[in-house]
Amino acid sequence: MSSEHHEELRGFHGIHRGFPWSHVVGLVVSLVLTFAALWLVQAHAMPHGLLLAVILVLAVLQIVVQLFFFMHFLESYGPRYHVTSLALAFVFTVCIIAGSLWIMTFGGEQTY
- Under the rule (CB under 8 A), what is the footprint of other proteins? 1-3, 5-6, 78-79, 81, 85, 88-89, 91-92, 95-96, 99-100, 102-104, 106-109
Count of Cβ atoms closer than 10 Å to residue 40 Cβ? 16
CB of 83 to other proteins, least distance (A): 13
- What is the distance between the alpha carbons of residues 88 and 10, in angstroms, rounded to a whole number? 29
- What is the distance between the alpha carbons of residues 58 and 79, in angstroms, rounded to a whole number? 31
CB of 59 to other proteins, least distance (A): 12
Question: Is residue 59 a contact partner of residue 94, using CB atoms and an 8 Å limit?
Answer: no
**What is the rounded (10 degree) CA torsion for 41, 45, 50, 54?**
-60
